[in-house]
Amino acid sequence: MTATTETSTPAAPSSPSFAASDAAVSDPAASDAAVSDTAASGAPVPGAAVTEAGSGGLPDARAAAGLHSSVITWFGANARDLPWRRPDAGAWGVMVSEFMLQQTPVVRVLPVYEQWMARWPRPADLAAEPPGEAVRAWGRLGYPRRALRLHGAAQAITERHGGEVPSEHGQLISLPGIGEYTAAAVASFAYGRRHAVLDTNVRRVFSRAVAGVEYPPNATTAAERRLARALLPDDETTAARWAAASMELGALVCTAKSPACERCPIAAQCVWRLAGKPAHAGAPRRGQTYAGTDRQVRGKLLAVLRDAPGPVPQSQLDAVWHEPVQRARALDGLVADGLVEPLADGVYRLPLS
């Protein structure tokens, strides 16, 4: 996961396009959240610890409502003004942002998103282009298979749904490249539907505030899904707002490395903080390496192909990485993933179909 510092001007998003931020990414940006004197001082409120409110570790309705009110109020004053949160972004803008924000911080996504939406403002516009153009426009966002999946989703939307991003979760999850998280996020952020939206930021907030654990498990568990459903407001509009607000709280305040508890609107209810912030008890958390990996080599090879106006000879690709075995393995992987098409006589290009 990549971390970044955000400086966007906070602004409350317009309903229903709440739209998320930094999906599956830790974002240690600070915000000027105004919190109550009690929360800011860190003084615990008797009986306020979330896990004391319900049975089986799940909060009851009163405790959950307290979380909703505090976090949503904070969000109204501190949400960043991001282009996919604006009403004119529409469902397509929300979907594009969700694909781009997976494991990629906002600061890197913003310029690519703006260029993408200017070029392809509707799914049909992207669907009409070869998939290689999506890979080219993806630039250096990383994980370029997301570009192919987004292109495939645009084609399916154009063919099956008349060019309009569907609003129903079941229709969204049937699109190419869209899983449970993205379907829930688009339905919630674009259409104001009631869904539990669990990215890394949300999972970390719930883990600390309710479970009293510094970090959530590496992969989403059934227990986390039960907790997310238990915390989901009954009202659709409030549920959608809660999904975006809890995600923003994890991105800006309850960050992975430097949580700003003094600015947290639910500090007085946070089980982890009230317990003295016990250190992570699991295996050491290691960040992903990049230098010298096949990912780096793949990126260098793709950069050559993106920048070229036409097919590229093998010799031009050979020049970007000194180790022939790793270079060949990376190139074979790009071909297998459909990101590169081999032509005759050792020439390669971005995919046309």
Task: Tell me the catalytic residues.
Answer: 98
Mapping DSSP onto H, E and C, the string for 67-78 reads: HHHHHHHHHHHH
Cβ burial of 43 (10 Å; 0-12, 13-18, 19+) is: exposed
CB 287 within 8 A of CB 280: no
CB 139 within 8 A of CB 104: no
